[in-house]
Chains A and B, each alone.
Chain A
Amino acid sequence: MSRYPGAIDCDIHPTVPGIESLLPYMDDYWQEAFVSRGIDGLEMASYPPGAPISCRADWRPAKGRPAADAATIARQSLDVMGTALAICNPLTGGQVAVSESMGAAVCRAVNDWICKEFLDKDARFRASIVVPPQSPELAVEEIERRAPDRRFVQVMIPVAVEMMLGRRYYWPLLAACEKHGLPLGLHAGSLHRYPTTSNGWSSHYIQDYVSHSQTFEDQLLSLIHEGAFLKFPGLRVVLIESGVSWLPGFLWRAIKTWRGVRAEVPYVKRSPAEIVREHVRLTAQPFDAPDAAAVARIIEMIDSDAMLLFATDYPHWQFEGDRAVPEGVATPVLAKMLIDNPIATYPRLKENPTWA
């Protein structure tokens, strides 16, 4: 008996086994470049492969990379959970490369690899189009190349990029997402163009990881106050692996600050909380609350049953056994999290042939 029959898992992480897996999806120039220069090991610093959180111990293979093939993921997660659909969010170094052309080459290869190794092998998989945030122009090219395949349901970038995301520099990327009905997924992680905290580089990985929620807050403020949601009213943003319990305090502060100095952004005529509740969704893994009472109270504070999306964050270590949802999530909220909210957030999921 599976734990969450029919659930839609909005965040799983297939791992690229190594550069050799991507070479078949690269042109001659890049194949030559990666081989002759000996470039491999492009895992993001935001997820050190050996860090306990990067893979739960019982999912870590004796050798090789975890979550590296469709059968393993199906066995360790989809079958156990009863997942109907799972969105693959591969975290690879293409998105952080300092060279935008190399970054784009890796992103293209990752998207093609996901297609061949996951989407084509198990009908339960869906995927995000990973794009190079280093170049909105190349990101748009990649969206245009991959969007026709309806199994790609989202565009994904790390949350900490090279500028605040609401800036006009990124508007072509936001426009492409809106045009194709693809939410923009922001995943915990950084291009490390700036220190990981506003006080500089922290000493500990734990602090880097914990601090990502701050960058999610920063990017929401940027998108709101630069007017991105006014320019692109159909844009949906999904915060992936941001945690959840930071959200109410953020909303309160955003309302208060906007009320105080909204004359600076006169075009923002609705409260930031209202804008966030309309345009923004969060994967509910991790949740970051200690017990059922706190979980219930945080959900009450969020005051929206539409915002949370079920996710396991597999193979990252967020929970034990099969208890992917913390206690304290009331049954009606859980039902929406598991199926309704993901479908409403990712319109392409409705096209699942097994539901036709």
Chain B
Amino acid sequence: MGLTLERDVGTAPAETKTRLRIIDCDIHPYLRTPRDLDQFLSARWRQHLAEYGKGTRGIYAGRGTYPRFMPNTCRRDAWPAGGGLPGSEVDFIRSQHLDPNDVEFGVLEPLLEGNSPRNVELQAALCSAFNDWQVTHFTDLEPRLRASILVPQDDAEAAVAEIEKRAADPRFAQIQLSSRTPEPLGRKRYWPIFASAERAKLPIGLHVGGPSAAAPSASGWPSFYVEEHQVLSHSMPTQAASLILEGVFDRYPNLKLILIEGGFAWVPSLGWRLDANVAKMRSEVPHLKLKPSEYLRRNLWYATQPIEEPEHPQHLRTIFDWIGWDRIVYSSDYPHWDYDDPRLAIKIAMSDGERRAIFRGNAEQIYRFT
């Protein structure tokens, strides 16, 4: 990790009890040091990583293609006083986020490129190691935190094996996939993962990012992070459309996907656009049983962060109305720089029922918290 400025991290905000114990669908755990993973990797893969690195599709050997705007993409005040990366110390996650915000359950979304190597055997080894690491370093220390089953998504057989290995373990709340899979997610190569998720009654958290084999745009490569950060969210409507059009939700009607950190203002327009075109070109997708917008309301949920900020704040209510209040789940993205404080992020007046649905009730319907 490069330079960090010497600074006083200050004290955590005064504890303010909200009336509602909330569920946060997006907390990012980090390694204190890369060595923390070693105990979960074989000597063969430790050597491979030391010699060749992860071997993703990016342009740099050891970092992402688009340099972010903060070290480790994190809040300046999220660096633990005792050293290590933001999101790597359970005590600090607890005192900075879980306690003051009254988080009852927080779902971990590891973004450490476990599913990004082109070498799928390395993917499998890393995903399994990150799964062991989440329980050892997080959920066993803080039971409010729940892990995600990270899977080698490019090798469905290995992914299913990893799901089956973890599915009965209540410390895992979901299966995690990346939104930028190398092929559109509706493709048959991914179907065994969906079958396994449905069998295990586990939702799939689709987190933005990942190892796509395609350019960020159909017109190539943006120059800047300010572009790429926004363009990246197109992977969400793309995956939603692919899953719908390929018939995944007809084949696996009980599948639940939470789209995390991909925004949600696009959802109504995507549904309308798909409905209009499927109505005209039904002949291309005769297998669909419902209108595309109906799958958006049946099989998909949308996490709030980064919250949409309409120019006129009341339009946020319109967007929620169009999507359905039962489809929205709160997420903080702790400890990233664009973290959404649950007390401040949603700037419209809400009824108690609406607030409860977004901050708790909807997530309870999707996830397994036992």
A→B interface (CB under 8 Å): 51-53, 159-167, 190, 193-207, 209-215, 217-219, 221-222, 225-226, 243, 245-246, 248-249, 251-258, 260-265, 273, 286, 288-290, 294, 297, 301, 303, 317
Min CB distance, A100 to chain B, in Å? Answer: 17
Chain B residues closer than 8 Å to A211, beta-carbon distance: 218, 234, 237-238, 241
CB of B272 within 8 A of CB of A290, answer: yes
CB of B246 within 8 A of CB of A198, answer: no
Give the interface segment out of B111-119, B156-164, B306-314, B348-356: B306-314
Give bound CA distance, A286 to B280, whole Å: 13
Give bound CA distance, A192 to B74, whole Å: 36
Q: A194-B217, A199-B180 are contacts. A206–B245 as well, Cβ < 8 Å?
A: yes
23 contacts between A and B (CB under 8 A): A53-B281, A164-B219, A190-B219, A194-B215, A198-B215, A198-B238, A199-B181, A199-B182, A199-B235, A203-B187, A207-B242, A210-B277, A214-B217, A245-B269, A249-B266, A249-B308, A252-B311, A253-B263, A286-B276, A288-B272, A288-B273, A294-B272, A301-B315
Chain B residues closer than 8 Å to A218, beta-carbon distance: 216-219, 222, 227, 231, 234
| Identity of the chain A residue whose Cβ is nearest the Cβ of B221 in the assembled complex | A164
The digit string for B211-248, where 1 denotes a CB below 8 A from any CB of A, is: 01111111111111111011111110111011001100
| Identity of the chain B residue whose Cβ is nearest the Cβ of A251 in the assembled complex | B311
Is B183 among interface residues, defined by CB-CB distance under 8 A?
Answer: yes
Q: How many positions in chain B have a CB within 8 Å of any CB in the partner chain?
A: 70
Chain A residues closer than 8 Å to B326, beta-carbon distance: none
| Identity of the chain B residue whose Cβ is nearest the Cβ of A289 in the assembled complex | B272
CB of B219 within 8 A of CB of A202, answer: no
CB of A249 within 8 A of CB of B184, answer: no
Is B80 among interface residues, defined by CB-CB distance under 8 A?
Answer: no
Q: A53-B277, A265-B224 are contacts. A202–B184 as well, Cβ < 8 Å?
A: yes
Give bound CA distance, A194 to B245, whole Å: 21
| Identity of the chain A residue whose Cβ is nearest the Cβ of B271 in the assembled complex | A290
Total of A-B residue pairs, C-beta within 8 Å: 239
CB of A206 within 8 A of CB of B277, answer: yes
CB of A249 within 8 A of CB of B263, answer: yes
Chain B residues closer than 8 Å to A260, beta-carbon distance: 69, 229, 337-338
CB of A51 within 8 A of CB of B281, answer: yes
Chain B residues closer than 8 Å to A265, beta-carbon distance: 224, 226
CB of A248 within 8 A of CB of B310, answer: yes
Min CB distance, B166 to chain A, in Å? Answer: 26
Give bound CA distance, A225 to B226, whole Å: 8
Q: A194-B219, A221-B227 are contacts. A210–B241 as well, Cβ < 8 Å?
A: yes
Give bound CA distance, A166 to B226, whole Å: 14
| Identity of the chain A residue whose Cβ is nearest the Cβ of B244 in the assembled complex | A207
| Identity of the chain B residue whose Cβ is nearest the Cβ of A258 in the assembled complex | B226
CB of A161 within 8 A of CB of B219, answer: yes
Min CB distance, B219 to chain A, in Å? Answer: 4
Chain A residues closer than 8 Å to B223, beta-carbon distance: 164, 166-167, 222, 225-226
Min CB distance, A154 to chain B, in Å? Answer: 19
CB of A261 within 8 A of CB of B225, answer: yes
Give bound CA distance, A248 to B212, whole Å: 27
Chain B residues closer than 8 Å to A214, beta-carbon distance: 217-218, 231, 234, 237-238
Chain B residues closer than 8 Å to A261, beta-carbon distance: 69, 225-226, 229
Min CB distance, B283 to chain A, in Å? Answer: 7
Chain B residues closer than 8 Å to A52, beta-carbon distance: 280-281, 283
Chain B residues closer than 8 Å to A161, beta-carbon distance: 219-220
Q: A203-B184, A210-B241, A254-B230 are contacts. A195–B218 as well, Cβ < 8 Å?
A: yes
The residues in B between 180 and 199 inclusive whose CB is less than 8 angstroms from any CB of A are 180-187
Chain B residues closer than 8 Å to A243, beta-carbon distance: 269, 273
Give bound CA distance, A204 to B242, whole Å: 8
| Identity of the chain B residue whose Cβ is nearest the Cβ of A51 in the assembled complex | B281
Min CB distance, A230 to chain B, in Å? Answer: 15
Given contacts A200-B212, A207-B242, 4 further A-B contacts (CB under 8 A): A198-B218, A222-B222, A264-B225, A290-B272
CB of A221 within 8 A of CB of B219, answer: no
CB of B224 within 8 A of CB of A206, answer: no
Is B81 among interface residues, defined by CB-CB distance under 8 A?
Answer: no
The residues in B between 55 and 94 inclusive whose CB is less than 8 angstroms from any CB of A are 69
Min CB distance, B260 to chain A, in Å? Answer: 16
| Identity of the chain A residue whose Cβ is nearest the Cβ of B230 in the assembled complex | A257
CB of A221 within 8 A of CB of B230, answer: yes
CB of A252 within 8 A of CB of B273, answer: no
Min CB distance, B138 to chain A, in Å? Answer: 28
CB of A252 within 8 A of CB of B218, answer: no
Is B268 among interface residues, defined by CB-CB distance under 8 A?
Answer: yes
Give bound CA distance, A240 to B308, whole Å: 26
Q: A164-B221, A288-B273 are contacts. A248–B315 as well, Cβ < 8 Å?
A: yes
